Amino acid sequence: MISQTAEYALRAMVCLGTMRQGPRTAQDISEESKVPVSYLSKILRSLARSGLVGSQRGPKGGFFLARAPREISILDVVGAVDPWKRIERCPLGNPDHDGALCSLHTELAKAQSLIEETFRRLSLADLIEGASNAGGRCGFPGRTPDDAAK
């Protein structure tokens, strides 16, 4: 449904939203989010270009959320790293479908619109609250399944 890059970006953003001790290094975020640090660096650059993440240089430097978690939608994050592509014409290039999608692509476009609307409505704060209420079921963020059992 979403790319691995988009999932990694969402995991990194949840980590940034839950880390309260100031800017965090890419290494810290990588360890917390379970995203390879080399790939995470590319993702963080895209998030910074989109104005979702800020960075600070220096010994106490690192990355931080540029806006409050409630002001960042899931669609913002996904769009920053993997722009949303709408089905507007037949992906098969069928000239008979010019001006109208076939029934398959019409239904796919409807489903895509529902997902897009859900992502627009959900904020990063919703994911952060959900992560803290999940009891560490998948070991994210910052907890292992063993921690959840304690």
Give the span between the Cα atoms of 25 and 60, in whole angstroms: 9
Of 43, 60, 61, residue with least CA distance to 52: 43
Give the span between the Cα atoms of 19 and 28, in whole angstroms: 10
Beta bridge partners of 24: 63
- pTM, to two decimals: 0.81
Q: What is the CATH architecture of 4-144?
A: Orthogonal Bundle (1.10)
Over residues 86-91, mean pLDDT: 75
For the stretch 18-47, pLDDT in tens is: 877 789 999 999 998 999 999 999 999 999
| Lowest-pLDDT choice from 37-41, 80-84, 93-97, 130-134 | 130-134
